[in-house]
Amino acid sequence: MSQNQPVWIYDTTLRDGSQREGLALSFEDKIRIAHELDDLGVPFIEGGWPGANPKDVQFFWHLQEHPLKQAQVVAFCSTRRPHVAAKDDPMLKAILAAKTQWVTLFGKSWDLHVTEGLHTTLAENLAMIEDSITYLQQQGRRVIYDAEHWFDGYKNNPEYALKTLKMAADSGAEWLVLCDTNGGTLPHEVTEIVAGIQQALPDLETPLGIHTHNDAGMAVANAIAAVLGGANMVQGTINGYGERCGNANLCTLIPTLQCKLPYECLDEKKLVQLTKTSRLVSEIVNLAPDDHAPYVGRSAFAHKGGIHVSAVKKNPLTYEHLVPETVGNQRRIVISDQSGLSNILAKAASFGIELDKTDPECRVILEQLKNLEHEGYQFEAAEASFQLLIRSAMGHRQEFFSLQGFHVHCEVGEPTGQHQALAIATIKLEVNGKKLLEAAEGNGPVAALDQALRKALTKFYPEIATFNLTDYKVRILDGAAGTDAKTRVLVESSDGKRRWTTVGVSDNILEASYRAVVEGIEYGLLMHSPYPSVPLPVFTA
């Protein structure tokens, strides 16, 4: 096995990935993701099934007029229907209309699917494979053959499964992709079956590919097993999106193959974009990114235990299997009640604040941190609040305003027959020696409080008009206390370019919300302040 052996990456996020429950892609979403994958350097991007829906037809038409920079866009469909010539099948006519150079054609490998799914004969299924591939080739198309249910078919009837594969190769398919469609195969079986193909078909020159599903949690492992066995193409999706339990996650597969094994999937200069691509796609599909995803997750290189932090500061190899920047990620020092001075120093340094362990502020910060977390605060996901805590201990925290009091009134009524709620918040503040009284309405108490606060402060700090509350999370800390439970609120704010998160804790959910919202505004003002007393970090999306 030579060094840097190429493995061709085939992305099917736009087709197989979109079959995930709760995931829906608009035409604009598909175009945006396609351009991101193209920029990442993915050579094959499966765009969908032309003719299956108007959105996919529009997608392929658009890319005819506005082609990608380097990636091949692939149309996807099945072999022709039983007893219908390929040239007469409307489905294949729609594929030709997409005008892609490459077409991925899937056919049946499992005799069970032929007889009970297609209700036809085994001989007719072989004819369908041959006729479809030959016809597409005659029309100038290059064919990737997806052997659907390959592993289940091979395990139940290896002789027939091999016949379907050989028929596809003999008919002119340029790739033979082995599909674990039900996702139940194990890595040792993949190894044995790929070896069995090579033994049974020693003259087979068509390269092999692998397409795995994650129903047994083995999608990535199975794909790696196939590559180690000789497969040269890997099909998968960004973030592992897909039907049921998902597909092989390319964000895990690509760096594993390229950084741990002697294969080349992407240009090294493009590999650093992997984390950005993962998070951008999760943003586009409107699914929260998996913070604990290998390589690209926000916690993939996060260190919480004091001993870990101290060791990583001396030599990252002690607790990191890969340099985070290789995949565009970054090391994070997590602050919690388990933190020691090493965490405090490292986290302050990441903010651009240089502290020494002999500085008295360090002990003050550590003591305050542990006390606050004992009360229910959590700074792991609220780094803006933690920096404000550091500034307080150092005497650098600027007071932009002070609260004199607030009142929130909620009315619940049914004026139109629909259950509606209206909240009115009144707030008293002091800004630069001036006392203010403002009121505002909202569709809930927190929204009304936020609006009243902004309404009062914008007169003095107009930049607040650019701040938005982008996320609001509530956690009940002691559920056994019922409605008397202590509440932790996390608020994410944004100015359109940057995002930051703050936290508030109280027995009163409105007070907890107010604390988090106020710190969010305070941190935003610090970022927009022309002369901050110490540098501010930027928390990007």
- Using 70 as the pLDDT threshold, list the residues of the chain that sit under it: 1-3, 305-306, 309, 335-343, 380-381, 412-421, 478-484, 530-541
- With tokens 């604009």, the residue in question is 28
Q: Domains in the chain, please, with CATH?
A: 7-266 (3.20.20.70), 302-394 (no CATH), 402-528 (3.30.160.270)
In this structure, the dihedral spanned by the alpha carbons of residues 184, 200, 192 and 166, taken in order and rounded to 10 degrees, is -30
pLDDT of residue 337: 52
**Strand duo 499-506 + 487-494: pairing:** antiparallel
Max CA distance (Å), the chain: 89
The Cα 141–Cα 86 span in angstroms is: 14
382 token code pair = 């609220």
User: Tokens standing for 480?
Assistant: 């056994």
How big, in percent rounded to 5, are the helix, strand and coil portions of the chain?
45, 20, 35
pLDDT of residue 343: 66
Q: 3-state secondary structure string, 364-430?
A: HHHHHHHHHHHHCCCCCCCHHHHHHHHHHHHCCCCCCCEEEEEEEEEEEECCCCCCEEEEEEEEEEE
Contacts of 327 (CB under 8 A, 6+ apart): 255, 259, 271, 272, 274, 275, 295, 296
Helix (H/G/I), strand (E/B), else coil: 470:
strand
Q: What angle do CA 443, 449, 450 make, to 5 degrees?
A: 90
The helix/strand/coil state of 220 is helix
The rounded distance, in Å, linking the Cα atoms of 365 and 215 is 46
Picking from 526, 529, 530, 525, the residue whose alpha carbon sits closest to that of residue 466 is 525
Closest Cα to residue 389, out of 347, 429, 359, 356? Answer: 347
Instruction: Single out the residue of 351, 373, 389 nearest to residue 522, CA to CA.
Output: 389
The Cα–Cα gap between 55 and 15 comes to 12
- DSSP-derived secondary structure for 99-151: T-SEEEEEEE--HHIIIIIS-S-HHHHHHHHHHHHHHHHHTT-EEEEEEETHH
Distance between CA atoms of residues 76 and 92, nearest Å: 10
- For residue 197, what are its two tokens? 């193909």
- Please give the order of strands across the beta sheet that includes 402-413: 402-413, 420-431, 434-442
Nearest 10 degrees: CA dihedral of 462, 468, 473, 474? 40
CA dist 422 → 172, 412, 428, 451, 495 (Å):
67, 6, 20, 13, 27
DSSP single-letter state for residue 190: H
Q: How many CB atoms lie within 10 A of CB 356?
A: 9
Query: Two tokens at 390?
Result: 């550091």
Amino acid 94 reads A
* Gap between the Cα atoms of 225 and 460, Å rounded: 62
Q: Quick one: tokens of 450? A: 């936020």
Please, which residues bridge with residue 474 across strands?
489
The torsion angles phi and psi of 5, rounded to 5 degrees, stand at -65, 130
Phi first, then psi, for residue 397 (nearest 5°) are -85, 120
Instruction: Give the span between the Cα atoms of 61 and 5, in whole angstroms.
Output: 35
